Chain A
């Protein structure tokens, strides 16, 4: 879904460019709350993962390609603001490193693959986590659904931009149907990978999942190694 140069006409490219820039600017301000000196490396890792995931391309109807988007994973692990930054960085680096996605189409690409996926996925994730019982399984299930929905949502946004700024007159209904249909399939793959990863991380490093950091047990003090006449006192 990386749009190349010349695919979308100038007015829509400029408009989405403005939207993307504004979105990233807001995310930069918001991320100051999420990003300390340890979450910066986490954001980098999430970006590296999203980068790798986006390299897996599936052929999609009407000749375009589809691939995993990673917006949901990013938002759930590092929070929505940093998540937007991660995916945007990935898109930018893909454009300059691999010529994947046009430089002048960055606005379109960031808007539908960073902003839309993160907003949809994170909104849905929070909603589900709030309504489901507070267990690890709920977190995993919520991330599955959030990831599943975020992919067709992004495809729909892409189709919308094409309807507005496509350089050719094609029957939009058909295109939208095909895009959404195929992206539901991709969404299933995305959902499985997102849920597995989030599940694995929650299991052993709950501190790394944004919003699930309040599971700390109190520390214990001892004067001798446990096992042989241990005296313990609670701290």
Chain B
């Protein structure tokens, strides 16, 4: 069993128009910048994929990564908790012009909805957002005398995520707080594509410390020295 693919371009080659795409990371931490840029490069060469629905905690920052994806007008709708950043101009301009849809979800509910998608739980109840605008139109049920909001699972056609190290079976470990949404998104997508700094043989990761078991991963691509969104933005980088 070998889930490695040879290039970033090959890794993102099968993402289709209209796909629901989960993109890992919290801000720039754990964001798969190289995979996102490969997707942009493909779009600029072929016109595909377009009309994407993207699930991420944020809406990008500056002109690289998710912000660059939005800037290319590849994203029809964004599902996120916090579309603000140091430089949110790309998303903000399109949103205020009514040219991108936004589904705003509380951060913990977003995480739990993604986990539910991966775990085969179609709906659950949470106290979060009860009595607020973000619960409008949602089913309310009382348990033990307290009201809760019903929330639905979130699934995706594809997840593109970043980890630190993988073995050829797709077992993953992460680096520090770059873990965040990545392990959940691996679970919730039909096809999960991971970029890692290092690929080792099976047995090269202690079974006790695996964070994402390989069953949740379909493709692994090696990016030995990945860029950090924060560094790129401090340099004023643009992609392309």
- Co-assembled chains A and B: no
Chain A residues within CB distance 8 Å of chain B: none
